[in-house]
Each structure stands twice: as C-alpha cells, then as structure tokens.
Structure 1
C-alpha cells in the first residue's frame, strides 16, 4: 500500500513510519524534517503539511494524519488556531481521491470520565487540546461520509518510552535521570490510566491503518488500568534508574480521572485479522 504519513518526523510518526516500511509498504513521509530509514519505499516531502499539493503526486491508498502542534501542552491556543487547517487539509485529500483516512485522536477528547472508554463514550472535553481533537473527529467523520471514504479515528492513550524523546512524563523522567537529579517532583500517583509501550503503540497503529475491515473509533491501548505511581516505579526499576519520585509535590490535575482505560475489543480483532498475537 502507499501510505501518506503526516508529522512523520514527530514522536509517534518516526516509529509508525518504521513499522510501515518494515512491513513492505510505501510511505510518503510529510513533515518539516527529513525522515531517514534503512528500509526501501520511503519518499520525503519536507515543508508545511497543510500546503501539500495532492495533484503533484500519486493519490495515496491511505492518509494517516499524525501532524499536530503542541500535543503535550493541553492548554495552548494553537490547538484551536490550527483546527481549520486540519479540516481543510483532510477535505483536500478527499477531494483528490483519497478514500481511506486515519487520524490520531486522544483519550483527552473524552474529557473527564471514570471507567472504560469505548467508541460510544460521550465526549465532553475541557482543554483546548481535547476540544480541538474532538471537533476534528466530528468534522472528519462527516467529511468521510460525504465522500464515501473509510474513516479510522485512532484514539491514543498513554505512550511509554525510555529514549527521552517527546514531552510525556516518562520523557521528562528520563531527562532528569540523565541530569543526575535525585528526585522527580510528582503528583499523588494514585490515578489509574491505560499505558502502552512506544513500540507496541506504533506497531498497533501501523497494523490498524493497513487493514480496512475494522473502522470508526479504534482505541490504541492496553485495555488495562494501572496506577501512574505503580507504573512509573516499575519503569524506574526496569531501566535501572537512580532517580526517585517525590510524591505530592504537584496536585493532581482537576481534569484527570481517578481511573480510566480503553476498551481494546476492536484492536484485538485487528490483531487477530493480521495474524498478530496480543497480550
């Protein structure tokens, strides 16, 4: 398949592009930076993704839209400023003939919620990031209905990696460890979330967008709630880190649920269809 990946040089994009190339797909990597890979089938488009001209290249079989500014800064106004750009970009792709659109969403578009999140869970986001993601989801579903295109909304939960990239709490802990800091200021750590290792997240995303049996809202998740404190303590041990958590230095965020996780039923179906095992 020929798959266009926007935000290809980003935190998630690099891992997903690698997974797609490993599986033999051709990738149009659209981003500000050049993506380098030892695998064949990679074509780079460098520049503003929103200005990409679909008329100048073959129409991709799949558009995987990962590009998003300030993804770890939930209260930035840029999320709202860019919303119309995302909408116009996806509309232009559909007008050019793309008939399979996948967009990376977020569990933050649901807003405050306690319990499992599935495709029918009502959304009531409370941050500019969540509001913008949720609005784009609604707009994209309507666009794909209008153009008779397949839509996969990939609702991402919490990614975990030990390479220090990105701005997640895990990345910040890695950088603090590298700086030989003794403590990492932390919340109560009691809230329970759905965590997925980076490599698995990228693998599951690649497998999801290269099949067309399962569509709609698809949770990219583990399907299990684990307390943030317990998960990070395990993370510290697995990586032989010396830094320790300083509990209670920061309050829990008011929009964070005490316990939420994703329903992974659709994801398990996809893994079964692809002949992949799941934990």
Structure 2
C-alpha cells in the first residue's frame, strides 16, 4: 500500500484532500503546524506528524521523518487571501523551497504541488498550460518561482513533478472573506441585501470536493506531469454564479451590484482549459 504525505492537512483544501484519499487504498501521513486538533485525522490509515516548515532544521532528513512517503501532495501555504504582501517572496518561498528540496534530495520521487491560476497574470480568455506564466502579485510570483526552482532541480534529481494550478473553489470551511462564505453569512443573519462587485467578471468555479478529488487523481498517477489546470473549463459570470448558488439553496437576497470595485490584480474574463486534466484516466 502506497504512502502519501499531505502537507497543509488541516487547511481548507487539505481537509477535503484527506477525505478523498481515504476513499483510496493508501496510507496517509498528515502534517501541519496545528494538526493534533483535527478529529478527521483520527483514522487507522492516517499517521499524524506535526511539523512547522518555517522552523525546520536543514540537516534533518525530512524524507525519513515522514516515513519515506511514496507520494507527496504539498498543499501548505500561508498568508492568504493577502496576495500582495511581500512575505510570500521574502519568507514563504525560501521556506517552502528548503522543505521540498530536503525531501527530494533525501529520496522523494513523486511530488504534486498546488499552484495558482494567478500565475497566468492578466491574460484573458481560456488559459492553457502552454501559455507563459506572467504572475502579477507577490503570491503568484512566489508560487511560480517555486515551480521554476523545482524544474531546475529535476536536472539534478530524478523525480516526477505535477504542478496543479487551482482556479476558484468554494465550499464549507472556506475563508470567511471569500464570496460564498460572505453570502452564506448574510443569509444566516437574515440580511435582505448582499453587497458585491458588479458581477460581470467571468470566472471558473468548482466545488472544493471536486478540486480535492482531482488533486488526488493527479497525485496517484504518473503519466500526466508538469503543469495541470484543476479547472472546469466552464466560464460563468460572478453574478450568474451567485444567482445559481442562491437557486440551489432555494434562497433569495437582493444583490447590491457594484458596491465593491473590481479587483485590479486579476483580469475580467478568464477560465481554465482542462483537457490535460481530463486526459487522466
């Protein structure tokens, strides 16, 4: 039975990735800084290994520490949704580089890392993996630099790299500042009006359960490698997405469109091409 290490196991996506992995015949090593508190991780096929990658000792063999996992799913990243803060480049990028390089240099051979659609920058339309990366904020730049560093390391070490670029996900447990979390809060409070942007921007939304299942699908195979979009390839305006969500919940609330300005760190219209993802059987 293969052993899968999941970093960021207590995060929003990590919770769902663990649930998805439990449907597979694998052993799971779950790690994060505050991992002991999660009841989900009390399972016979899960080994809990607390670890803070910002306080690691470079001489320690992390591949051995985590029980020599066959597969690594690296979800961990901090500081979101603060996309512009320099700490992504100054603190987090070096820490994640040290962590992953340690694992690989000591024997890790199969790595799946979560990137971001923001690596495409301000390019509009259908975003394909073959497009050049043009990151426009500190978070995206740090992620893209980490990918480039790992690709360079492949010239020295023999390992498989699957870099999954995530688009817009939603679901229970998401950050309270996210669109659907704010909408759910407004509905729970009985608000009659929901403030939002103009809603004309086009995005690629996917429930977090589907995102997690696709991350696991990518991680457990070795034929499709490199950059892989985790996307629906189904563009929808934010306004229509909100209306569809309300309809699915059989709820109503007046939308105060245009209350917030459109974000200036992302293009108006973009979605992910998912042909590469769909090629995985």
- Same fold, TM exceeding 0.5? yes
Is 1:184 the counterpart of 2:187? The answer is: no
Q: Within 2, Cα distance between the matches of 1:127 and 1:103? A: 19
Name 2:267's counterpart in structure 1.
257
Q: CA contact under 8 A between 1:54 and 1:93: conserved in structure 2?
A: yes
Deviations 1:19-74 (A, max 9, x none): 01121211111112234336531011123134283333421111111001022221
Shift of 1:133: 1.1
Q: Within 1, Cα distance between the matches of 2:17 and 2:173? A: 17
Q: CA contact under 8 A between 1:164 and 1:174: conserved in structure 2?
A: no
Deviations 1:213-272 (A, max 9, x none): 1110011010111111101111112123343321000111123222111111111111xx
Shift of 1:168: 2.2
Candidates 45, 50, 72, aligned match of 1:41: 45
Candidates 134, 155, 161, aligned match of 1:145: 155
Q: CA contact under 8 A between 1:109 and 1:124: conserved in structure 2?
A: yes
Q: After TM superposition, list the pairs within 5 Å mapping 1:81-230 onto structure 2.
A: 81-161=91-171, 163-166=172-175, 167-230=177-240
CA RMSD between the two structures: 1.7
Q: Within 1, Cα distance between the matches of 2:182 and 2:156? A: 42
List alignment gaps of at least 5 residues for structure 2.
none
Name 1:60's counterpart in structure 2.
69
Shift of 1:139: 1.1
Q: Which is worse superposed, 135-144 or 206-215?
A: 135-144
Q: Within 1, Cα distance between the matches of 2:46 and 2:12? A: 18
Q: Which is worse superposed, 201-210 or 166-175?
A: 166-175
The 3-state SS of whatever aligns with 1:46 is coil
List alignment gaps of at least 5 residues for structure 1.
274-279
Q: Which is worse superposed, 151-160 or 48-57?
A: 48-57
Deviations 1:135-156 (A, max 9, x none): 1111122123321110000000
1:174 to 1:144, Cα distance in 2 relative to 1, 3 A: farther
Q: Within 2, Cα distance between the matches of 1:55 and 1:234? A: 48
Deviations 1:114-146 (A, max 9, x none): 111112111211111111111111112212332
Q: CA contact under 8 A between 2:68 and 2:107: conserved in structure 1?
A: yes
The 3-state SS of whatever aligns with 1:43 is strand
Number of residue equivalences: 270
The 3-state SS of whatever aligns with 1:248 is coil
Q: Within 1, Cα distance between the matches of 2:194 and 2:52? A: 36
Q: CA contact under 8 A between 1:109 and 1:130: conserved in structure 2?
A: yes
1:64 to 1:178, Cα distance in 2 relative to 1, 3 A: same
Is 1:239 the counterpart of 2:249? The answer is: yes
Shift of 1:164: 4.8
Name 1:16's counterpart in structure 2.
17
